[in-house]
Amino acid sequence: MRSVNCSGLSYVEVLLAVVLLAVCLVPVLESLQPAVLGTSVSETHVQNQLRMQSRFEEVMAESFSALEAAATAAGSPTVATGYSDAPGTEDRLLVYIGAYDGDNDDGDDNPFSDTDADLLWVRVAMENSGHVRESLVNRY
C-alpha cells in the first residue's frame, strides 16, 4: 500500500471557508452601520456647538453699552435680541440679554426684578434644543 501525502486544500474546503466567511461577515458589517450613521449626527452636533460658542464669544466681545442697548431694545430678557439669527434659519441661534439682579436686595429670588445698573445677563441658545451658553457681564 502506498500512502498519499496531500499538501494543500481541496476545492470543497476552500468553498466551505468562503461560505463561512461570507455568512460571518454580514453581521459584522451590520454592527458597524450605527457607527457610520452616528458619525453624521455627531458632526452636525459638533458644528452646532461650535456655531453657538462662536456667537456667544462675539456677543461677549461687544461693549457693555452695546449690550445694554440691545437689552433695552428687546424690552425683556425673554425676548430675543438683534444678535439672534433670522426667523426660519435652520438651527437658529437665539440671543437673550437682560438686566440682572445679582445682589437680590429685594429678597424675591427673581434675577430679573430690582436689577443692578451695572450687570447684564447674556444667553445664547439653539432654538428647539437644550444647548445653551450663558454668562453675566458687568460694566467694569
Which residues in 3-118 belong to E strands, given as ranges? Answer: 93-99
Evaluate if pTM is beyond 0.85. no
Record the cell numbers describing residue 6, joined without a space: 496531500
pLDDT value at position 113? 83
Q: What is the CA angle 61-140-49, rounded to 5? A: 30
Domain extent listing, the chain: 11-138
- Give phi and psi for 123, each to the nearest 5: -135, 130
Question: Could you report the per-residue pLDDT of 26-74, keeping only the tens digit for each?
Answer: 888 888 888 777 777 788 888 999 999 999 999 999 999 999 999 999 9
